[in-house]
Amino acid sequence: MKIEFDIPEEKVNGLHDPGKRELLKRCKKWTEDIIDEAARIESSRNETDEPDITAAIINEATLHERRFPLKRKINWRVKLTQIGAFITTLVTGSLLDTEKFNKTSHVVWFLVFFFLAIASTIYLTFNSEQNG
């Protein structure tokens, strides 16, 4: 089904072609999410096999979609970085033994894991909008 709607010209006056494409992509995705949510709501209420999605169900799905947006899937690289940050933090904590700091190798391993833990945590913090 093709759905079209008009947006006043003054609202999209400075919108360039890449912006228009992104806006269309987001509108399509949001519409599909609302329709999926409306279908879930309708199937949970309807006991017959015939789907009957009404305007009230669409309104409820829109409110639900605004209140509880779907989380994006976490990229495998980000997940790997999260696991790495956790492990390096644990290893750094286990290496924090001041009595063993007399050995140069122990200090070097402590500093390596310490900086890896700090770097991965800083990376995850600055990219938190992509992490979900």
Q: Quick: pLDDT tens for 56-78.
A: 888 888 887 777 766 667 778 88
pLDDT for residue 79: 87
4 part of a folded domain: no
pLDDT tens, residue by residue, 76-117: 888 899 999 999 999 999 988 888 888 899 999 999 999 999
pLDDT for residue 55: 87
Same domain for 14 and 47: yes
Same domain for 83 and 57: no
**Please, what's the b/e burial string for 81-107 (b: 16 or more CB within 10 A of its CB; e: otherwise)?**
bbebbeebbebbeebeeeeeeeeeeee
34 part of a folded domain: yes
Residue 67 Cα to chain centre, angstroms: 15
Distances (CA, A) of 126 to 23, 72, 122: 26, 17, 6
Could you give the dihedral angle defined by the CA atoms of residues 59, 62, 68 and 72, in that order, rounded to the nearest 10 degrees?
Answer: 150
23 part of a folded domain: yes
pTM attached to this predicted model: 0.50
Backbone phi and psi for residue 100, each to the nearest 5 degrees, phi listed first: -90, 0
Which domain does 111 fall in, by range?
76-131
Angle at 39 between CA 6 and CA 52, to 5 degrees: 90
41 part of a folded domain: yes
Same domain for 16 and 34: yes
Same domain for 81 and 49: no
Same domain for 42 and 21: yes
pLDDT for residue 70: 64
> Which tokens is 132 given?
């979900």
Same domain for 84 and 60: no
Sign of CA dihedral 96, 98, 100, 106: positive
Same domain for 61 and 13: yes
| C-alpha–C-alpha distance, residues 38 and 45, integer Å | 11
Tally of structural domains, the chain? 2
Same domain for 95 and 58: no
Domain end: 67, 85, 117, which one?
A: 67
pLDDT for residue 119: 94
